[in-house]
Amino acid sequence: MKTAGSGPHGLAADKEGNIWFTANFKAYIGKLDPHTGDIVEYPMPDSRARDPHSLAFDREGMIFFTTQNSNFVGKLDPRTGKIILTEVQTPHALPYGIIIGPDSAAYFCEFGSNKIGKIDPKTLAVTEIVLPDQGARPRRITNNHDGLIYYSDFARGFIGRLDPKTGKIEEWASPGGPNSQPYGTASTSDGTVWYSESGVKPNTIVAFNPKTKSFQTWPIPSGGGVVRNMVATPDDKLYLACSGVNKVAIAEVKH
């Protein structure tokens, strides 16, 4: 890092292979050229936006991101470096995981409330979608090949589903129970929704089949140590960030 103590948190790759990251401790978004090691820093334009957290590229190459404790969401244009910020209406919403939905809007979890935020990609206006249970606390979020959006309800031990066309919400109790703390989540090409139960010891990896509404569960051999994030690659391998055990886990999905 050019700036010491940056605290890189979220990661995303652009079409040229550059790696973009959120400097969670130093209030900027960075671009790393993996071929040269050069880093460009894009500081937040508002000193209140202290902790950029997660980020995602949309189809036009724009970056949308969250700032957790600062309660902002933002948009960065990589061509100009310009950043636009918008404050989330709900106080202490804790904007967290973010994706670009099938309708090209950005959707993010409000981990401090029972809401999913929706960002208009042109105006940056935020619409808040209220989840049915007041105790819900969505944390991570993923697209699925069925055109629906799935999120992990960390506080209640549920996996939830949002239909972006209708706003309909459905949810299912995680196999590990109300204290299972579902966290990192991803989807594979067959439509399976994967996530980890971080409150179960050892942590589990869970497969949810949206067609049959059924679950399968496997323990993570290392224990997991809280899987805060996971990604699915185009060849349907799952990579899990096993934060507490200093490991990255790779799960191969056999069809």
Residues 146 and 123 grouped into a single domain? no
Helix, strand or coil, per DSSP, at residue 120: coil
Average pLDDT, the chain: 96
Closest residue by Cα to residue 81 from 42, 53, 51, 44:
42
Domain boundary among 76, 99, 130: 130
Q: Is the peptide bond before 210 cis (omega within 30 degrees of 0)?
A: no
Please tell me the total count of domains within the chain.
2
Q: What tokens were used for 155?
A: 């506080």
* Structural contact between residues 161 and 210, judged by C-beta atoms closer than 8 angstroms: yes
Taking the C-alpha atoms of residue 199 and residue 180, their distance in angstroms, rounded to an integer, is 4
Q: Predicted confidence band at 254 (pLDDT cuts at 50, 70, 90)? A: confident
Q: What tokens were used for 171?
A: 């949810």
Residues 32 and 88 grouped into a single domain? yes
Tell me the per-residue pLDDT of 92-118, one tens digit each, with 9 for 90 and over. Answer: 999 999 999 999 999 999 999 999 999
CA dihedral 110, 62, 238, 245 (to 10 degrees): -60
* Structural contact between residues 69 and 84, judged by C-beta atoms closer than 8 angstroms: no
Q: What percent of the chain has pLDDT over 90?
A: 94
Is pLDDT of 255 > 80? no
Residues 8 and 117 grouped into a single domain? yes
Helix, strand or coil, per DSSP, at residue 176: coil
Residues 137 and 56 grouped into a single domain? no
- What CATH number did the domain enclosing 35 receive? 2.130.10.10
Q: What tokens were used for 7?
A: 């605290």
Instruction: Give the dihedral sign, CA 13/19/25/27.
Output: negative
Domain of residue 27 covers: 1-130
Tell me the per-residue pLDDT of 44-97, one tens digit each, with 9 for 90 and over. Answer: 999 999 999 999 999 999 999 999 999 999 999 999 999 999 999 999 999 999
Residues 26 and 116 grouped into a single domain? yes
